[in-house]
Amino acid sequence: MTGGMLTSTDRSACARCGSQLAPALLSCPSCHTLVHVDRLKLLAAQAQLAEDDNDRTLALTKWREAIALLPTTSTQYPVIAARIDTLGKDAPSAAQLEQKQKEAEVHSKFSRIGGKKLGPVLGTAALVLWKAKFIVVLLLTKMKLLLFGFTKIGTLLSMLATMGAYWALWGWPFAVGFVLSIYVHEMGHVSALRHYGIRASAPMFIPFVGAFVRLRESLHSEWQNAIVGLAGPLWGLGASVAAYVAYVTTGMPIFSAIAHASAWLNLFNLLPVWQLDGGRGFSAMSRTHRLIAGGAVLAAFAVTHEPMLLIVGLVGAVMAFSNPSRKPDARIAAYYVALAWALAAVSMLAVRTLPPR
């Protein structure tokens, strides 16, 4: 490439009609033949083999590689998108199946050792200890993921700049706590994206705006879009609860202020508009689901008197009539409502004043 112009080496010929093709084209503009048909066949075969082996992660990876090589107008695109949606929503992964098998083996082994009388008790106790091991591993994995952003210079510099901006207004303790709560929120998105095998950047911060992560690949279903979107407020809820627990434990008002600010920010993100997380959640809801969700949020406002809930509820009721999902899922609506109520509870419990400078 030179000066933005295509040279002769930047084009290839269509295998069917011989038309010249630019590198970015996915189908021939003349005869509409798919450019990557051989690669697509290979990926489809690999994905099907992975599904037959109950390896959801590999199957999703291969189907995503395939859909990236298809134009959205092709007949294959919606078929593969639906396959990705189904695998991402319901199918257990190979690791999950293996874990369930090991759990069954542990329970059975210790039940036989205990005999008829002690067998059920011993088997259950062994299974609880076995699960506890996986919980510890899961927590350590999440902690490792939380450290991911601190290894990226861009994240660190933008985080420090944002802390400095808030420091000037409300002091460094609040600045540090609030920015960390935003970071946890963004890492919730990263965790959900990784669950679906989608690469994403570490968070980047913008003072007084928030933060964002860049997707290296596209989301191909409403379900995934909703889960990835709501994962941010879910992790943000965890940060808010942690700050409130710190307040209850220490009695230091700064932690209560951070808990309230974090809960408020995550409630704001539940607004079902534009690219906010609530908009992604609403993408997988029907009109009825949206009306119920909006009503539930307004009910939470009546209980907690958190002003942000009034805004979220009213906007949700209005957005109920805008492009409802063709494949709605009531579980997403329940997830959304549960998040709104939980965040409202934290906001109500926390002291609603910033600490003095």
Please provide residue 240's backbone torsions phi and psi, each rounded to the nearest 5 degrees.
Answer: -65, -45
Q: Which of 333, 349, 343 is nearest to 265 (CA)?
A: 343
Residue ranges per domain, the chain? 10-89, 93-145, 147-349
pLDDT of 41 > 80? The answer is yes
Crossing angle for the helix pair 253-269 and 172-195, nearest 10 degrees? 40
Please give the Cα distance from 89 to 174 (Å, whole number): 38
Q: Quick one: average pLDDT of 13-26? A: 73
CATH class of 10-89: mainly alpha
User: Exposed, middle or buried by CB within 10 Å (0-12, 13-18, 19+), for 253?
Assistant: middle
pLDDT for position 150: 77
Higher pLDDT, 181 or 60: 181
Phi/psi of residue 329, nearest 5 degrees: -135, 120
Q: Which backbone phi and psi does 200 adopt, to 5 degrees?
A: -145, 155
pLDDT of residue 353: 52
Residue bearing tokens 């601190």: 150
- Mean pLDDT value of segment 168-196: 91
Q: Using the Cα atoms of residue 283, residue 287, residue 293 and residue 297 in order, give the sign of their dihedral.
A: positive
Q: What are the residues facing 21 on neighbouring strands?
A: 12
Local confidence band at 354 (pLDDT 50, 70, 90 cut-offs):
very low
pLDDT band for position 8 (50/70/90)? very low
Inform me whether the pLDDT recorded for 273 exceeds 60: yes
C-beta atoms surrounding 266 within 10 Å = 29
Going by pLDDT thresholds of 50, 70 and 90, the confidence category of residue 10 is: very low
Pick left, alpha or beta for residue 350 (phi over 0 → left; psi -120 to 50 → alpha; otherwise beta): beta
Q: Is the pLDDT of residue 11 over 90?
A: no
At 112-133, the pLDDT tens digits run 655 555 556 555 655 555 454 4
Confidence at 64, pLDDT banded by 50, 70, 90: confident
